[in-house]
Structure 1
Amino acid sequence: MTDTTAADATSVSAKPATRPARPFFSSGPCAKPPGWDASKLACQSLGRSHRSKIGKARLQYAIDLMREMLGLPDTHRIGIVPGSDTGAFEMAMWTMLGARGVTTLAWESFGEGWVTDAVKQLKLEPTVIRADYGRLPDLDTVDWSDDVLFTWNGTTSGVRVPDGEWIPADREGLCFADATSAVFAYDLPWDKIDVATFSWQKVLGGEGAHGVLILGPRAVERLTEYTPAWPLPKVFRLVSKGALAEGVFKGETINTPSMLAVEDVIFALEWAKGLGGLHGLIARSNANAAALDKIVAERDWLGHLAVDSGIRSKTSVCLTVEGADEAFIKKFASLLEKEDAAYDVAGYRDAPPGLRIWCGATVDTADIEALGPWLDWAYSAARQA
């Protein structure tokens, strides 16, 4: 296929003959796993108390599946908590920060959110290291005598940290990784991560409102040996009478979970297990990202916000569109949605105007490939409107 330049794109008028079979490219909540249907969900826990024998068993089963899929060592605990990834990360911040200095890294919207929490809410006077959208700061400048907060994969910027090599094994502070778009998409170095959070609604294609909090042994030690100066709401309390509330990490949730959402993520995890587990999920994400890279490379008017491929997300891929402003992107995305060719592909509201295409494991590569001609059509149609 030859390059499609901006001038060529204005002459494209015919709608492509083939649409993506599943045009779900939202970066959260994301596409459901292929073959998903509500009628396929187990229902024995529905209408039952989450504290009943069956309720606790299904919550524990979800935790066990997550541990198995992630290859998570026994040293790390997994808890299902309220408030999606945001709730999980803020729970970690409110319960563990303040024991030593804090460094916050921000290169996209959610990282900036953690800066706001640390500065305005917890009043910690952190060291803040920033980079523009599409870039990373110099990770070698991070002082690991501090607790360090960062997003592993920036959903709103399409930028990820390249690996865990920049995190020292002998760090003094805790490593807090907001990994909501990274867990189940990358092989994460759990020995380098003390606190990780994510949401089922991302790579697993699950439902929102529930977060997952993963704690390494150093984080548990901090929780049991340090008491923050500020009061903690009930939904943040992970310690009782000086000891870790172990029940939270055995399916005894702090507040009432949706058992329908639990059954939904169990479906996704069992689907993932059938693919070969984590490496099967990673392979699907990589294939999707490669297919989108090919589309971008073939079009002069389309580019990556993260120019450096070594730090480019394999899940939430953010694209630049030549000459586009916010109004143009809104029109572009609306045209695709009206044609049932692609849903929810406009970039995040705080990011530079552009597109954002989810390439996580629940998307089929054939649908990414089918999207390319529709991007040409929408670009042409939006320019002519």
Structure 2
Amino acid sequence: MIDEDGGATITTEIVPGLLRGALDLERGDLGVRPHRLPAWARARADRQLVMAQSQPSGVRLVFRTAATRIEVDARRTTLAFAGVPPRPDGRYDLLVDGDLVDQQTSSGGTSLVTDLSTGVTENREGPLGTVRFADLPSRDKLVEVWLPHQEMTELVALRTDAPVETIPTGTRRVWLHHGSSISQGSIAASPTTTWPALAAARGGVDLVNLGFSGSAMLDSFVARTMRDQPADVVSVKIGINLTNADVMRLRAFTPAVHGFLDAVRDGHPTTPLLVITPVLCPIHEDTPGPGAADFGDGTMRFRATGDPAEVAAGRLTLRTIREELTRIVTERAADDPHLHLLDGLTLYGAGDAAEHPLPDRLHPDAATHRLMGERFAAHAFGPGGPFAAA
């Protein structure tokens, strides 16, 4: 194939060896869909989690090439609500030798638009999208194309004007992380600026991000997935979804945490394991869930609908979860020297709320993601930290 400039164009099949951060590739109608959970785990998940894990937060194409032009064809699927402004188009971030050199927005694809008054979802089909990166240096270089972190993506084609070479795994330590939409990157500016991606870059590690929007529920199949996934360091951020979904009481929470950590430890008995308590979320600090979406002014915000008087009966708030996680990890650490605790309030706490308020009362904005990423990297990967290199 000859492009407009008269140069040869090479189409490379998208295979597992080209991807980082995906645990499975599913063959779609046009290409391949990266998943962040294996097929057996997806079969046990509800619709919310299936959608969240198919949004490829932290997933990137990684290869070496001397190409000056790179094109990726993809079919995206976006979620929207009737009468509410849609989210901005997703971004593809291009890194060359570790530096962000270009960003392109996604387009086309399928939009799933839900009418909140009726519960009916309409499929609106659009064309295939193509992102193009041009005028790259012609030298041999390490290229990473990070996929949009909040759009389900089917990769259709990868085209370059020079051959690509896959990168062997094992050249860097692997950080396996599980959390909620805050870890997936809600309201982050782009896929490389979610707080885990920023922390991973500072820590010099390969990220496997199992942050699932609305779905950090201590699910046993997620723990078993983490058990089976090779990793050099592991972290689990627990709390916000258990509160805002009001899925359990304190009596069930405590054994569920133990069971989750036990399963992870079955596969990683001496791997550094960091448990992170919830970051500040004022609506749920002392008020239980469930949380509810509030579109009163045409903008999506959240509110807590539970009764604080029921906390004494076991309803979960973020304050309750922090206290119980601290107790659990402190007691377990007596027999597990590689188990560590991080207070989420050190990543984002009361002292940060005035300067960095949560735009929708639940999710941190782009500046706060950067703040959290820097703080986590300093704590976990810095000298003396639980993830510091030997």
TM category, shorter: under 0.3
- TM-score computed with the length of structure 1 as normaliser: 0.23
Which structure's residues are more often helix, by fraction? Answer: 1
TM-score (ref. length: structure 2): 0.23
Which structure carries more strand by proportion?
Answer: 2
